[in-house]
Amino acid sequence: MERRNLSGGEVMLDSINVNQLYPRWLVARENSRPFVLIDVRSPDEFRAVHVPGAKLIALNTLMARANEIPKEGDVYLICHSGARSAQAAMYLGQQLGYNNLINVDGGTMAWTNAGYPVEKGA
């Protein structure tokens, strides 16, 4: 996991790549443990392909739906490549005080390219 400063050092962004995320995701699924993965892409992108178990909260609905994101425990944010999820993490950190967010570098594209399981549909 990597930690980066955003916006002049005010907000720290933890990030993880898909090869680091996959074992955490797999262990949680195999042991029926909670695993919070928020997909901030559009509904159409989500329906096309997403990580199994991901919850869709599109970036344009984030303000209205932020209460659905836990403030405790690890929360992974994913998008297509990692840019929108980093934007979501920055907003949630700066505006709402979240400090438990982990951005998935490479996003769903990297997850798919690595050959990890995906789902299609809503």
Q: What is the pTM of this model?
A: 0.91
Which tokens sit at 48?
């096309």
Q: pLDDT tens, 62-94?
A: 999 999 999 999 999 999 999 999 999 999 999
Domain ranges of the chain: 2-113
Distance from C-alpha of 5 to C-alpha of 12, rounded to nearest angstrom: 5
What does the pLDDT read at residue 122?
A: 79
Q: pLDDT tens, 19-29?
A: 999 999 999 99
Distance from C-alpha of 51 to C-alpha of 38, rounded to nearest angstrom: 10
Would residue 63 show up in a list of annotated catalytic residues for this protein?
Answer: no
Residue in 11, 57, 79, 92 annotated catalytic: 79
Element (H, E) at 5: strand 2-6
- The CATH code belonging to domain 2-113 is 3.40.250.10
Q: pLDDT tens, 7-57?
A: 555 557 899 999 999 999 999 999 999 999 999 999 999 999 999 999 999
> CA torsion 62→80→104→20, rounded to 10°?
150
